[in-house]
Every structure is written in structure tokens, then in C-alpha cells.
Amino acid sequence: MGIISFVGFTALVAVVSYWSTRSMKEDSSDDYFLGGRSLTAPVIAGSLLLTNLSTEQIVGLNGQAYSEGILVMAWETLAAIAMVVTALFLLPRYLKGGITTVPQFLERRYDRGTKTIASALFLSGYVIVLLPIVLYSGAVAFSAMFDLPAMLGISKTAALWACVWGIGIIGAIYAVFGGLKAVAVSDTINAIGLLIGGLLIPFFGLAAIGGGSVAEGLSTLVREAPEKFNSIGGPTASVPFSTIFTGMMLVQLFYWGTNQAIIQRALGAKNLKEGQKGLLLGGFIKMLGPIIVVLPGIIAYKLFDGTLAVPDEAYPRLVREVLPAAWIGFFAAVLFGAILSSFNSALNSSVTLFGVDIYKEYIKKEATDREVVKAGKLFGIGLAVLAMFIAPAIANAPDGLFGYLQEVNGCYSIPILTIIVVGYLTKWVPAIGAKVGILSGVILYSISQFILGPNVAAEAVATATASGITDEAALEAIRKTAYPHYLHVMAILFVLNVSIMLIIGKLYPRKEAYVQKYTDQVNIDPWKYAVAAGIGIIIAVIGIYIYFS
């Protein structure tokens, strides 16, 4: 029954996506890369949701919630504020300039060299970090849910390879051959399934705690595990409360406002109104995200009495324990869609970056739009194959790799955000300022997190041990607090790099002030309720924190 429902729902998504895009032309870059600039608010919101949610987040955040409680909701609720800022500040400027990729703006504001550096950083992040990790984490979760090694009579390694290549091939078909619109349509359908399936897990979980009553289950959970419902994280937490006001908001703004894999959905909006409504609808949904990616982890803590040795096992085990057998296949299909979405979205964005920013600029300047699309597709196929070969090797990596890779993203996220923010807020900072800002950001962050940080932490632990401290928990707390949290480091370097760019702009200003031109590709009249809706979302987020403090 589970296999039948899985195949049925997956096939439905494929058929609807094909039917919706069967007549789509690919004669121009806009047709392929931006869905013909025809995306509406529900499609944008649904695609944003599914692109963001994958096994890393669903399994990983619930694992952290199992250990630390509701404080990890910061990754979800604060995203809503970043989406408001993107809708009100960044998107109007993006659509006014008619850009296809974020680096295109950097070329207009600074120069071609700045655009190339940014594109290279984006691509390196996708190739080295995002694509292989999404494939690997998705394959592990999917294999465990269906227990494929036992079902197929193969080893865990063989099952891992099979899942990686299955996800990779299907994702490549959507992203490479369907373009953004196929990705967005499939994302929207899967978003509906994810909301349904994701809400079923806490529903059945609370019912299990409450002896069949969801209300009684929630009451019991809050009463017997009150420490799990404190949103204020201490200095040793994965998200200390102070980081909410520093690097956390910068990371969120980069992800939702400048990350090509995300913002590409809003760039494909048919007009500014639809783009703003899509982002704000997505922001509202993100506030409900903790119900899916945080609450189940706390439920698992109660159901399993905090006995799980590996917190990341909390969500898969909870699904097996509380979800009726008839729903397993449907939920597996939804989870498969989430895995697929993150993979094909990053792949589609990589294809866009390569075709528009590299192939057209450096390989064949006179290439037609059709040739750019074709070159992008070939690059995407190669990229997908490379990621499929790399992903299984992650199984041999040391523990803590996922956290390490999350930290690595800071090497390019904050530098890129820096030059975009300065680019829009100033008129005189020259291209050399952007190059210095982005390169200093990469270099200084790398030195801070991978040289200074580990050495300072190791020295602090050694000093504590020499003074007679042997308790493992105490030593771990010392290690975590010996050096500033990486989110604080991001904020410090953001301010430093902005200052550097402003000083360069003062000493060596552009010859002419930068003025953004309206390309008239889409209507940029704002949604009249955008500001009111944005303020409402921000107030709601603050209210959530006050309630759980």
C-alpha cells in the first residue's frame, strides 16, 4: 500500500508538471530561466516553501528540537522578517532592472569582474556544498523510511547509491529539461502535500501522547517538558538569543533576498504585485513552519523519554511510530518531493548562472538565447552527474560534517550580501570597492572560523583541563564559548566590510553616480497592502517570541 501511494502521488506531480509546461517555449532566456516571467503569487510561495524545506531541515531541525527545544525555531520564524524586507526593498529594485540573475545587477552596478567573482562563489557553494549534501541526506532519509536494504536485499551502501542516482536523475529531468516553470509547478503541488503530510506527524504524535486526544497531548507535553518551550537560547545553545540581532538576520536576508536558488522564483513573477504577494504569503507560511520542523522533535523527546542516542533519528522514528501505514507512502512521496525540490532548484539556478553569466560573457558572446539555454542544459547535466558521484562519498566523512558545511556557507553568503546592500544603498562606491569587500569577506571569515576559532577553542579546553576540570559537559561549554559564535563573526565582518567599501568609495569614488534604469520588462507597481502585510508579519513574529520566552 505504501509503495502504491508513493508511486501514485509522485506520478501525479510529474503529469501535472508536464501538462502545465508542455507548450512552454524555450526560445529565450526568460522563457527557460524565469518561466517566461509569468509566475503568480501561489506558485512563487509554494516553490519558495519547497525549495527551502528538505531533509536537512525537516530531519535536522527536528533533531535539534529534540535536544534543545523550541529555540531552534529562529531558523523558521525569522525567515518571515527577511522575506518582508526582500518583498519591500530588494524585489522592486530587481524587477525594475529586469535581471535574470543577482550577479547581473552586480555587473551593472560595479563591473563584469565583480559579477564573475559572485557567480563563481555561488556556483562553488552549490557544487561543493549544496547539491551533494541534499542528495546524500535525502538518500539516507528515504532509504531508512522504506528500509530499502531489507526490501531489496542489498547493502546499505548499494541502497544509498540507488537513492542518490534516483533522486539526481529525476531532479535533473525537472530542472534541466523543464526549466524554472516545471520546477515551480512541481514545487507547488508538493508544497500542498508537504503541508498536509507535515501536519499529520504532530497531529498523530500529540494524539499518541494524549491517549487519542490532540489537545490533551499538547497539554501533557507542555506540562511535562516545559524546558523545551523556551525560545531564549543560552550562550552554549546552537542559536544563542543574542545572535538573532546580529548574524542570524544577515544569513536570513542573504538566503531569502540574494541567494539565486531562492530569489529566482520571485524574479520570474509576472509583475511586482504578484512577486510581493508570493513572498509575503511565503513569509506567513514560514511562521507556521515550526509546527512541521520543530514540534515533532519535542514530541519525539516525550514519546521516547529522551533516550535516543542520535537526535537526528527522532523524526524518522516518530514517523514510523505514529503515522498509520496507509499514510506512509504518501508522506514518503511528499518527502521525496522536498528532497527533489532542493536539488533541482539549486541545479536550475546553477544552469542559469552558467548560461547567463559565464557562457554568454566569456565563451560565446554572440550566442543566441537558444544557444545559451542549450549550453546551460549541457552544463546542468554534467553538474548533476558530478554531484551524484560525490554524494555517496559523504558517508565516509567525519561526524559533524553537516554543521561544518553550514558554517562554510558563510564564506560566500555575507560577502555577497555586503556588496549587494552597499550597491543599492550607495551611488559612488566603485568596482574596486566591491572586489576588495567580497575578497576580504571570504578571506577574513575563512581565517576566523577555520584557523583562529579552532585554535582558541582548543587552547581554552587545554587550559581548563590543566586546571583540573574533567567534566565533559563543562569542557564542551568552554569550547563553545571560547570564541564568538559564527553568527556573531558574520555580523562583525559585515560591518567591517561595509566600512571598507564606504572608505574606498570616499577616497576613490565612481566617475559618475550609479542610477538604476527601469527596463519595462514587468509592471513594478507595488501591491497596495504590501507594507501593511509586512508590518503584520513582523508583529506576529515578535509576538511568537514573547509568548514562548
What is the 3 state secondary structure string of 103-171? Answer: HHHHHHHCCHHHHHHHHHHHHHHHHHHHHHHHHHHHHHHHHHHHCHHHHHCCCHHHHHHHHHHHHHHHH
Which range of 25-39, 92-106, 371-385, 534-548 scores highest in mean pLDDT? It is 534-548
Residue 386: per-residue pLDDT: 86
Kindly tell me if the per-residue pLDDT of 511 is higher than 60.
yes
Average pLDDT over residues 424-453: 94
Kindly tell me if the per-residue pLDDT of 415 is higher than 80.
yes
Residue 516: per-residue pLDDT: 85
Q: Provide the 3-class DSSP secondary structure of residue 327.
A: helix
Residue 37: per-residue pLDDT: 67
Kindly tell me if the per-residue pLDDT of 347 is higher than 80.
no
Residue 327: per-residue pLDDT: 80
| Average pLDDT of the chain, as a whole number | 83
By the 10 Å C-beta count (0-12 exposed, 13-18 middle, 19+ buried), 515 is classed as exposed
Average pLDDT over residues 117-130: 80
Kindly tell me if the per-residue pLDDT of 340 is higher than 80.
no
Kindly tell me if the per-residue pLDDT of 465 is higher than 80.
yes
The pLDDT tens digits for 373-409 are 778 778 888 888 888 888 887 766 544 445 556 677 8
Q: What are phi and psi of 99, to 5 degrees?
A: -80, 155
Average pLDDT over residues 337-341: 72
Give the residue with greater pLDDT, 429 vs 369: 429
**Helix runs in 147-259, H state only:** 148-152, 156-172, 178-209, 214-224, 247-257
Percent of the chain with pLDDT over 90: 35
Please, what are the domains in the chain? Answer: 2-396+518-547 (1.20.1730.10)
pTM of the model: 0.82
Lowest mean pLDDT segment, chosen from 80-94, 147-161, 519-533: 147-161
Kindly tell me if the per-residue pLDDT of 311 is higher than 70.
yes
Lowest mean pLDDT segment, chosen from 176-180, 329-333, 367-371: 176-180
For the chain, the straight-line distance linking the first and the last C-alpha, in angstroms and rounded, comes to 44
Residues sharing a CB contact under 8 Å with residue 286, sequence separation 6 or more, in sequence order: 49, 52, 76, 77, 79, 80, 83
Q: How confident is the model at residue 101 (pLDDT cuts 50, 70, 90)?
A: confident
Percent of the chain with pLDDT over 70: 86
Q: How confident is the model at residue 34 (pLDDT cuts 50, 70, 90)?
A: very low
Kindly tell me if the per-residue pLDDT of 23 is higher than 90.
no
Kindly tell me if the per-residue pLDDT of 29 is higher than 50.
no
Contact of 137 with 55, CB cutoff 8 Å: yes
The residues facing 39 across adjacent strands are 269
Kindly tell me if the per-residue pLDDT of 13 is higher than 60.
no
Kindly tell me if the per-residue pLDDT of 297 is higher than 90.
yes
Residue 32: per-residue pLDDT: 45
Contact of 145 with 404, CB cutoff 8 Å: no
Average pLDDT over residues 354-361: 80
